[in-house]
Chains A and B, each alone.
Chain A
Amino acid sequence: MTQAGHEAVIRVRNLVVGFDRVTVLDRLSLDVFRGEILGFVGGSGAGKSVLMRTIIGLLPKRAGTIEVFGVNLDEAGEKQRRATERRWGILFQQGALFSSLTVRQNVQFPMREYLHLSSRLIEEIALAKLEMVGLTTDVADKFPSELSGGMTKRVALARALALDPEIVFLDEPTSGLDPIGAGAFDDLIRTLQHTLGLTVFMVTHDLDSLHTVCDRIAVLADRRVVVDGPIARMLASDHPWVKDYFRGKRARAAAG
């Protein structure tokens, strides 16, 4: 449970990512420090999800280095990579729950694959995780197609937390939720971050989330991170996109 210290758990340097002839990220650098909640914002299609997917290794990069827990993932061997992957959890935008497994099985899946534990313990921990994300055990035997949007996100979060990761990547966790649901989800992330000592990398569009839960915000514009820092620095920035985003009409409403 380190407080937001200055140990960078994710260190991205001069990252270049592109598809065909389009360059999406150009010499982007970013640090994520242990124990903080980093809000990552940018216009639609600016490449926020691309950065997240590149860090977790779903997309290839053209140049630059990515270090997670001080391990350069390009140089890491298969075993070290697997060990690193176990230390992060990912909440995909649409939940990405396995549709043929029940909620309970979805949460148990990573535990059964990675840990050699008794079924009883796996069962108890899975239910504990579901309760921690605010679900009752009634949903445990439902299938993902029977869940509401908010429940899907919570189950996906429980699955992301299944192995007690140190970093969680959240891709637009509050999109598609009503403001009350989104607020509750923000609180949940805050609480879990406190109790579990998580580092949270959150791609988001939700100005309320940025104001209430994020310790630090990084803004992606012009294919790189243009500003990063607490909300006060965002409000003071002169970058035209940042200005529009944080001082526009909707932003004023969010800031109250």
Chain B
Amino acid sequence: MTVKPTLDETLSGLAAAGAWTVDHAHELEPLVEAASDKRRPGRRVLIDVGRVDQLDTFGAWLIERLMRACRSAGLDTAIAGLPDNYHGLLKEMHDVNRRPQQAAPRFARMSNVLANLGRAVGGTASDLLWIVDMLGETAVALLRTLVRPSTFRFTSFVHHIDRVGLQAVPIILLITFLLGCIIAQQGIFHFRRFGAELYVIDMIGILVLREVGVIMVSVMVAGRSGSAYTAELGSMQMREEVDALRTMGFAPVDVLVLPRLIALVVALPILTFLGSMAALYGGGLVCWLYGGINPEIFISRLKDAISLTHFAVGMIKAPFMALIIGLVACAEGLRVKGSAESLGLHTTASVVKSVFLVIVFDGLFAMFFAAIGM
């Protein structure tokens, strides 16, 4: 029902007709461009809009743009035949976009790359500082809580133990069980060539207890619980809940970070223990079914191969890994700014950084234990 808009040349200037609306804006723009570029002989342009039957912001702005183009070419402009009800709209358009646009500063590509590199390096340094900062704040909060134990949020702690500990058990058991199976299968397959199948049991025992158990569980927990911590704290930060706590005289670290962190420190060693057991069980099962090593031999061989030291090495590392994951997750969560994008960014950063730091610290621990002969 709307009429195709037109802009025709007349003796005294231009005549517009039809529907000058948003739906036709893509046809109108070239018309207006062409009319503005045209060189006109006279000194006056009369724009007759008497036959325009619909006009909205888009149409009105294009008419205004046309008039501005004519005026900057040194011509007088006038509007004729404008219906009363469109006066306000055209007047409104007359006042907008008056201020010159300051173009966004552009950098050369090379210096941009360098600037980004510099920013990334600076960012990494400040990230590490943030984590250390969080560690310090948590330590202070822990001391405060030790002085006045009644302020500890026990309910919150139990809730988080349930979420990061108890509810994680099935998936952790499944994954570590499968991992134990895979290590055993690969070991038997390759060791068989040397006739050294029995050493597979040594390998499984030492590898699982010292390294694989704790690392696998830490990575799982970083992905499962660390990301959840960051997202929770981040959305609380976005909705000003953290600020609300602060104004009520609570330290967010006491209320939000400490229970989560302690829950993780308690839960991760337990999960590591369960995971290691599941991996040994899976390894034993594969040795029996695939390698033909029956369970009595597996158990007696395992008894000889591993000692309490191996077990202790894995378990000692677990709470430290929990601390790293918790600190990174909470620090990232509290750094979330207002936007949804920022929440996603920090949640990703939380998982990537905590997994990276878990591996780095595992390496440092390996050097440390080797040095003290464990």
Per the CB 8 Å criterion, the residue count for chain B at the interface is 30
Q: What chain B residues lie within 8 Å of A191 (beta carbons)?
A: 88
Judged by a CB distance under 8 angstroms, whether A231 is at the interface is no
Interface string of B74-112 (1 = CB under 8 A from A): 000000000101101100110111010100100000000
Check A144 against B92 for contact (C-beta < 8 Å).
Answer: no
B253 to chain A, nearest CB (A): 23
How far apart are the CA atoms of A252 and B339 in the complex, in Å?
Answer: 42
> Which one, B58, B65, B97, contacts A131 given CB within 8 A?
B97
- Residues of chain B within 8 A (CB-CB) of A195 are 88-89, 92
Known contacts A1-B85, A99-B339, A117-B25; A196 and B97 CB within 8 A of each other: no
Chain B residue with Cβ nearest A99: B339
Contacting residues of chain A (110-137) with chain B, CB-CB under 8 angstroms = 115-118, 121, 124-125, 127-129, 131-132, 137
Name which of A117, A118, A121, A144 has the most chain B CB atoms within 10 A of its CB.
A121
Residue A92 at the B interface, CB < 8 A? no
Is B56 an interface residue, CB under 8 A from the partner?
Answer: yes
User: Which residue of A has the minimal Cβ distance to B87?
Assistant: A195
Number of interface residues, chain A, beta carbon within 8 A: 30
- How distant is the Cα of A144 from the Cα of B65 in the complex, in angstroms? 30
Which of B29, B57, B88, B338 contacts A164, CB < 8 Å?
Answer: B57
User: Does the CB pair B25–A121 fall under 8 Å?
Assistant: yes
User: Given that A115-B22, A164-B58, A196-B56 are known contacts, is A143 also in contact with B96, CB under 8 Å in the complex?
Assistant: no
Would you list which residues of chain A between 157 and 203 have a CB under 8 Å from chain B? 161, 163-164, 191, 194-197
Majority secondary structure, A binding face: helix
Contact assessment for B339 and A143 in the assembled complex, using a CB-CB cutoff below 8 Å: yes
The answer, yes or no, to whether A148 is at the interface (CB within 8 Å) is no
Residue B310 at the A interface, CB < 8 A? no
CB distance from A87 to the nearest CB of B (A): 10
The CA-CA distance from A124 to B62 in the complex, in Å, is 10
Let me know if B340 is at the binding interface, CB within 8 A. Answer: yes
Min distance, Cβ B22 to any Cβ of chain A, angstroms: 5
A100 touches B (CB below 8 Å): yes
| A115 near B339: Cβ-Cβ < 8 Å | no
Closest to B102 in A: A137
Does A145 interact with chain B (Cβ within 8 Å)? Answer: yes
Q: In the bound complex, how far is the Cα of B28 from the Cα of A115, in angstroms? A: 12
B337 on the interface (CB 8 Å rule)? Answer: yes
Cα separation A100 to B338 with both chains bound (whole Å): 9
Q: Is the CB of B338 within 8 A of A131?
A: no
Given A117-B26, A127-B97, A128-B97, A145–B57 Cβ distance below 8 Å?
Answer: no
Please state if A145 and B25 are interface contacts (CB–CB under 8 Å): no
Do B58 and A143 touch across chains, with their CB atoms under 8 A apart? no
- Contact between A124 and B89, CB atoms less than 8 A apart: no
* Chain A to chain B: the 5 pairs with minimum beta-carbon distance, closest first: A145-B338, A1-B85, A99-B339, A100-B341, A195-B88
Can you report 17 A-B residue pairs in the complex whose CB atoms are below 8 A from each other?
A: A1-B85, A99-B338, A100-B340, A100-B342, A117-B29, A118-B29, A121-B25, A124-B61, A128-B93, A131-B95, A132-B92, A144-B338, A161-B57, A164-B21, A164-B56, A191-B88, A196-B57
